[in-house]
Amino acid sequence: MDYAGLCEIVRHNDFKTFLKKFKKSRIVLMTTKAKKIYHNFKFKKNDMLLFGRESAGVPEEIHQILKNKIKIPMNKKTRSLNVAMSVAIVAAEALKQNNLLK
C-alpha cells in the first residue's frame, strides 16, 4: 500500500503495557456487545479506536478493562461488518464530530 510510509507499527508485550503508553488517550472499543451506537457517542480529538479481529473481536479481559464501548447497529440476520468497513464508518464519524474532515 502506498500509505505504509505514513504508519508506524509498534508492538507491545501486552495490553497493560499498551495502556500505560497511551494513558492520555481515551480508548473506544468497537464491539457488537456494546449498548451505545457509534453516532450517539461524543468522540474527542485524542480518542483511540480499538477494533478486534473479524472472527473473534477482542479478548474478554479487554472488554472488562475498557469503559467506552460502541457498536454499529446491524440487522439481526447478520453477524458483523468486515473490519475495514467498520473502521471507515466509525473513523469518519469521529473525524466529522471533531471538524477534522476538510
| Per-residue pLDDT tens digits for 9-60 | 889 999 999 999 999 999 999 998 999 999 999 999 999 999 998 888 899 9
Cell of 36: 451505545
| Distance between CA atoms of residues 79 and 54, nearest Å | 10
Cell of 95: 473525524
- In the chain, what are the domain boundaries? 24-97
CATH of 24-97, one of 2.60.260.20, 3.40.1280.10, 3.40.50.150, 3.40.190.10: 3.40.1280.10
Measured CA to CA in angstroms, residue 77 lies from 9, 32, 73, 83 at distances of 36, 13, 12, 18
Residue 11's pLDDT is what?
92
Residue 1's pLDDT is what?
63
| Distance between CA atoms of residues 92 and 100, nearest Å | 9
